[in-house]
């Protein structure tokens, strides 16, 4: 099914580089202080109004194409390969954990656990963020230690608590399973088709198809005043007038840059400090995108907020220094529900399986 203005085929070619994303200024945010420009009173802007100039400056519709995917049969072959690899449990040491185990495409790209379980039921220490719209993020992981989807894809494959493989094991196992011809189609100019880097490249290509445009808020930003309910418009006003948009703005309503999260202070997990070694980055984490947030509980890097209402309350106290009342929380949650986009239909792929080769003398 094709949505208005949005190609929903899994293999839709994507050729835009998101000039809107690049052009948006990144925010310098220290100690939880927010942009003064986002704390204006909003006088003269009724809840029934369409998006004002201020709203249109703060937010942009989510693009319906993803960057850097390319076009043509090679790009399609690469996405097809990545689709299979994403669901391939043999990429884990135990043979029963895939990318989709923790980032379930049929469940908004998450597993709804506080922290995910990998090989041998080993638990990670952070909540698994959604894979949807990850192509639009400035960096990957809560601490931003991976700059690209390709770099990110290599992490879980090798992490002891996740899939617990080595690059050599990954390559050998895929060759044994019968993936070689698929790699040759996806990487026709490579001297060696099946490589660990190509595994990451293919998975990243598939993940770039996982986008969710067409949310009610997108339609509102495009001029459809009826796309939001009166309560959602009221929630938008609470959101902008209280400084939430200081971090959660742009096409992703967040996802760019880092902020100190005072709610985490005292925890063993010190966030981005572990990457940079800078004390100024202690308890800083990547600013979460709010796209599809109503579908991705639990919340925060540690999964400590079980519901969206709880997350809104915590953010008000920890980051804004104020306590939202029940009516304000109702409005904010209503607005956040307007950020749920249209999810693509992602079928479970048929995975290559060739019979074991007979050993000599058998």
Residue 61 lies in a domain: yes
pLDDT tens digit string along 192-210?
A: 999 999 999 999 999 999 9
As annotated, the active-site residues are 162
Quickly count: other Cβ atoms within 10 Å of residue 193's Cβ: 18
Instruction: Kindly state whether residues 25 and 109 are assigned to the same domain.
Output: no
Residue 13 lies in a domain: no
Query: Under a CB-based contact definition with an 8 Å cutoff, are residues 119 and 162 in contact?
Result: yes
In this prediction the pTM is 0.85
Instruction: Kindly state whether residues 165 and 137 are assigned to the same domain.
Output: yes
Instruction: Kindly state whether residues 298 and 187 are assigned to the same domain.
Output: no
Per-residue pLDDT at 358: 65
Per-residue pLDDT at 362: 52
Instruction: Kindly state whether residues 217 and 278 are assigned to the same domain.
Output: yes
Instruction: Kindly state whether residues 51 and 106 are assigned to the same domain.
Output: no
Instruction: Kindly state whether residues 275 and 203 are assigned to the same domain.
Output: no
Instruction: Kindly state whether residues 190 and 217 are assigned to the same domain.
Output: no
- Tokens standing for 23? 């052009």
Residue 3 lies in a domain: no
CATH number of the structural domain spanning residue 50: 1.10.760.10
Averaged pLDDT, 134-159: 95
Per-residue pLDDT at 34: 34
Instruction: Kindly state whether residues 78 and 203 are assigned to the same domain.
Output: yes
The rounded distance, in Å, linking the Cα atoms of 235 and 195 is 49
Last residue of a domain, one of 207, 242, 260: 207
Instruction: Kindly state whether residues 218 and 199 are assigned to the same domain.
Output: no
Alpha-carbon torsion 110, 111, 112, 115, what sign?
negative
Last residue of a domain, one of 187, 207, 227: 207
pLDDT tens digit string along 299-330?
A: 999 999 999 999 999 999 999 999 999 999 99
pLDDT tens digit string along 260-277?
A: 987 777 789 999 999 999
> Residue 22: is its pLDDT beyond 90?
no
pLDDT tens digit string along 1-18?
A: 333 333 344 544 343 333
Per-residue pLDDT at 185: 98
Residue 225 lies in a domain: yes
Per-residue pLDDT at 264: 75
> Residue 25: is its pLDDT beyond 60?
no
What domain range is 311 assigned to? 19-65+212-337
Per-residue pLDDT at 50: 63
Instruction: Kindly state whether residues 45 and 117 are assigned to the same domain.
Output: no
Residue 177 lies in a domain: yes
Residue 358 lies in a domain: no
When divided into structural domains, the chain yields a total of 2
Instruction: Kindly state whether residues 249 and 312 are assigned to the same domain.
Output: yes
Out of 41-50, 97-106, 332-341, least confident range: 41-50
The rounded distance, in Å, linking the Cα atoms of 59 and 71 is 29
Last residue of a domain, one of 151, 181, 207: 207
The rounded distance, in Å, linking the Cα atoms of 148 and 197 is 13
Residue 108 lies in a domain: yes
- More confident position, 69 or 222: 222
The rounded distance, in Å, linking the Cα atoms of 14 and 105 is 19
Alpha helix (H) ranges present in the chain? 19-23, 53-58, 73-86, 99-102, 149-158, 167-177, 180-186, 196-207, 216-221, 230-241, 273-276, 308-315, 326-337
Residue 4 lies in a domain: no
Instruction: Kindly state whether residues 226 and 186 are assigned to the same domain.
Output: no
């Amino acid at each position: 099914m094709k949505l208005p203005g949005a190609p929903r085929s899994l293999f839709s070619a994507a050729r835009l580089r998101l000039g809107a994303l690049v052009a948006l200024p990144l925010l310098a945010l220290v100690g939880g202080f927010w942009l003064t420009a986002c704390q204006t009173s909003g006088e003269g802007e009724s809840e029934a109004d369409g998006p004002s100039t201020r709203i249109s400056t703060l937010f942009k519709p989510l693009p319906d194409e993803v960057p850097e995917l390319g076009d043509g049969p090679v790009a399609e072959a690469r996405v097809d390969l990545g689709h299979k690899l994403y669901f391939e449990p043999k990429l884990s040491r135990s043979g029963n954990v895939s990318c989709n185990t923790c980032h379930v495409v049929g469940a908004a790209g998450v597993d709804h656990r506080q922290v995910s379980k990998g090989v041998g039921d080993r638990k990670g220490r952070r909540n698994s963020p959604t894979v949807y719209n990850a192509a639009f993020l400035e960096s990957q992981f809560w601490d931003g230690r991976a700059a690209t989807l390709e770099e990110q894809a290599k992490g879980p494959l090798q992490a002891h608590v996740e899939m617990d493989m080595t690059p050599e094991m990954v390559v050998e196992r895929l060759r044994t399973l019968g993936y070689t011809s698929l790699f040759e189609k996806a990487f026709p100019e490579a001297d060696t088709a099946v490589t660990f880097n190509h595994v990451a490249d293919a998975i990243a290509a598939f993940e770039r198809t996982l986008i969710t445009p067409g949310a009610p808020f997108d339609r509102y930003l495009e001029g459809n005043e009826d796309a939001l309910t009166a309560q959602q418009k009221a929630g938008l006003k609470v959101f902008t007038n209280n400084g939430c948009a200081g971090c959660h703005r742009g096409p992703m309503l967040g996802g760019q840059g880092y902020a100190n999260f005072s709610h985490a202070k005292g925890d063993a997990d010190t966030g981005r400090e572990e990457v940079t070694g800078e004390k100024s980055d202690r308890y800083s984490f990547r600013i979460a995108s709010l796209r599809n947030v109503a579908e991705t509980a639990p919340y925060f890097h540690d999964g400590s907020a079980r519901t969206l209402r709880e997350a809104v309350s915590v953010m008000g106290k920890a980051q804004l220094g104020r306590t939202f009342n029940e009516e304000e929380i109702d409005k904010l949650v209503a607005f956040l529900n307007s950020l749920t986009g249209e999810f693509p239909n992602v079928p479970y792929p048929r995975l290559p399986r060739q019979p074991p080769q007979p050993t000599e003398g058998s």
